[in-house]
Structure 1
Amino acid sequence: MTMRKALWQLITFAPGLYALNMLLQLFRNLFLLVPGLIIAAIFNELSGNRPVGWDLWTLGALLVAVAVSRVTVKLCNNAVDATCVGYAGTLIRRNLLQQWLTKLGMQELPYSSGELISRFVTDATALTDILKTTNILFGSTFQALVAVTILFSINPLITLVAFIPLVGSSLLMNGVSARIQTYHRASRKAAGEVSSFLGEIFNTTQAIQFANAQERVVAHLRGLNETRRQTRLKSLFFTDIVLQSIAQSTASIGTGVILLVAAQAMKTGSFSVGSLALFVSYLDEFAIFTGFLSQYLALYKQAGVSLQRLLAALSTSAAQTTLVTHAPVHLKGSYPALPQPQRLVPALEQLEVRGLTYRYAQADKGIENINLLLRRGTCTVITGRIGVGKTTLLRTLLGLLPRQAGEIFWNGEAIKQPEQIFVPPQSAYTPQVPRLSSETLRQNLLLGYPDEPDKLAAAIQAAVMEQDVQSLANGLDTQVGPKGSKLSGGQTLRAAAARTLLRSPDLLIFDDLSSALDVETEQQLWERLFARRERTYLIVSHRRFAFQHADQIIVLKDGQIAAQGRLEDLLATSAEMRHLWHGSLQDSPVSEPNPEQDSKQ
Structure 2
Amino acid sequence: MRRGIRHVGRAIARQPGIFSLALTASSLFAVMTVASAYVIGGITERVVLPSFEDGDTSGAALTLAVVAIVAVAILRIIGIVGRRLLAGIMQYRLQADLRRQVTRQYLRLPLSWHQRHPTGQLLSNANSDVEAAWFFVAPLPFGIGAVVIILITGGAMVATDPLLALIGLVVFPLVFAINAFYSQVMGPRQQRAQQLRAEVSEIAHESFDAALVVKTLGREDSETQRFGARAEELRDGLVSVGRVRGLFDPMIESLPNLGTLAVLLVGAHRVVDGAIDVGELVSIAYLFTLLALPIRAIGWVLAELPRALAGYDRVTPVLEATGETPYGPDPAAAGDGGAGLGLQAVGYSFEGTDRPTVHDVTFDVPAGRTVAVVGPTGSGKSTLAGLLVRLVDPADGAVLLDGLDLRRLREGEVSDQAAFVAQQAFLFDDTVRGNITLGAPYSDDEVWTALRVAAADDFISALPDGLDTRVGERGASLSGGQRQRLALARAIVRRPRLLVLDDATSAVDPSVEARILDALRASEAPATVVVVAYRQATIALADEVVWFEQGRAVARGSHERLLAEVPGYVALVRAYSQAEGVPA
TM-score range, shorter chain: 0.7 to 0.9
Structure 1 counterpart SS, 2:134: helix
Alignment of 1:71-86 (within 5 A): 71-86=77-92
- Is 1:273 matched up with 2:263? no
Deviations 1:524-574 (A, max 9, x none): 111111213532222212334444443443221110110234445545554
What amino acid does structure 2 have at the position aligned with 1:479? Answer: R
Q: Encode CA deviations 1:2-48: one digit per residue, 9 max, x unaligned.
A: 66666555544443233222222222322222211111111221346
- Which residue is equivalent to 2:268? 263
Aligned to 1:330: none
Question: Aligned partners of 1:39, 1:482: CA distance in 2, in Å?
Answer: 63
Alignment match, 2:23: 22
SS of corresponding position for 1:176 = helix
Q: Distance in 1 between matches of 2:421 and 2:347?
A: 22
Deviation at 1:68, TM superposition (A): 1.2
From the superposition, tell whether residues 454 and 187 of structure 1 become closer, same or farther in structure 2 (CA, over 3 Å): same
2 CA distance for matches of 1:507 and 1:2?
Answer: 51
DSSP 3-state at the match of 2:400: strand
CA contact (8 A) 1:428 1:507 kept: yes
Choose which of 505, 515, 527 in structure 2 pairs with 1:535: 527
CA distance in structure 2 between the aligned counterparts of 1:198 and 1:581, rounded to whole angstroms = 39
Q: What's 2:75 paired with?
A: 69
Aligned residue in 2 for 1:327: none
Report what 2:177 is aligned to. Answer: 171
Matches within 5 A, 1:86-125: 86-108=92-114, 111-125=117-131
SS of the residue 1:122 aligns to: helix
Q: 1:356 aligns with which of 346, 369, 389?
A: 346
Equivalent of 2:202 in 196, 205, 217: 196
Q: Distance in 2 between matches of 1:573 and 1:265?
A: 111
User: Do the aligned partners of residues 284 and 237 (structure 1) sit closer, same or farther apart at CA in structure 2, a change above 3 Å counting?
Assistant: farther
Residues matched between the structures, number: 566
Query: Who is 1:37 aligned against?
Result: 38
- Name the SS for the 1:304 alignment partner: helix
Instruction: Look up the match of 2:459.
Output: 468
Please state how far the C-alpha of 1:55 moved relative to its aligned partner.
3.8
Aligned partner of 2:332 among 320, 338, 345: 345
**1:150 equivalent among 150, 156, 162:** 156
Q: Residue in 2 aligned with 1:235? A: 241
> Counterpart of 2:516?
525
Q: 1:399 to 1:8 in 2, by over 3 A?
A: farther
Corresponding residue number in structure 1 for 2:379: 388
Q: Distance in 2 between matches of 1:102 and 1:165?
A: 51
The partner residue of 1:480 within 471, 483, 500 is 471
Q: Aligned equivalents of 2:127 and 2:403: distance in 1?
A: 45
Q: TM-score, normalised by structure 1?
A: 0.85
Deviation of the 1:575 alpha carbon = 4.4
How far apart are residue 586 of structure 1 and its match? 4.2
Alignment-derived partner of residue 431 in structure 2: 440
Taking the aligned partners of 1:218 and 1:43, their CA distance within structure 2 comes to: 66
For residues 28 and 87 of structure 1, the distance between their equivalents in structure 2, rounded to whole angstroms, comes to 23
Distance 2:435 2:209 in 1: 20
TM-score if structure 2 supplies the norm length?
Answer: 0.88
RMSD between superposed Cα atoms in Å: 3.1
- Paired amino acid for 1:226: E
Is the 8 Å Cα contact of residues 166 and 254 (structure 1) preserved in structure 2? no
Deviating 4+ runs (over 6 angstroms): none
1:334 counterpart residue number: none
Cα offset for 1:177?
A: 1.9
Conserved 8 A contact 2:133-2:307: no
Provide the secondary structure at the position in 2 that maps to 1:537.
strand
State how far apart, in whole Å, the 2-side matches of 1:488 and 1:185 are.
44
Q: Distance in 2 between matches of 1:106 and 1:61?
A: 69
Partner of residue 515 from structure 1, selected from 469, 485, 506: 506
- Show CA shifts across 1:253-311 (max 9, x none): 21121122222322343312222222222222323333433442231121111112223
- For 1:522 and 1:558, the matched residues in 2 are separated by 28
* Partner SS, residue 415 of structure 2: coil
Q: 1:82 to 1:389 in 2, by over 3 A?
A: same
2:471 partner SS? coil
One-letter code aligned to 1:254:
G
CA contact (8 A) 2:356 2:551 kept: yes
Q: Deviations over 1:313-350 (max 9, x none)?
A: 5584279xxxxxxxxxxxxxxxxxxxxxxx95343653
Q: Distance in 1 between matches of 2:165 and 2:320?
A: 54
Structure 2 residue matching 1:534: 3-state secondary structure: coil
Amino acid of the residue matched to residue 41 of structure 1? G
Q: What residue in structure 2 maps to residue 595 of structure 1?
A: none
Structure 1 unpaired stretches of 5+: 320-342, 593-601
Determine if contact 2:357/2:383 at 8 Å carries over to the other structure.
yes
With 391-400 and 210-219 compared, the bigger mean Cα shift is at 210-219
Q: Offset at 1:497?
A: 0.2
Contact 1:183 1:231 (C-alpha < 8 Å) held by counterparts: yes
Unaligned runs of 5+ in 2: 52-59, 325-329
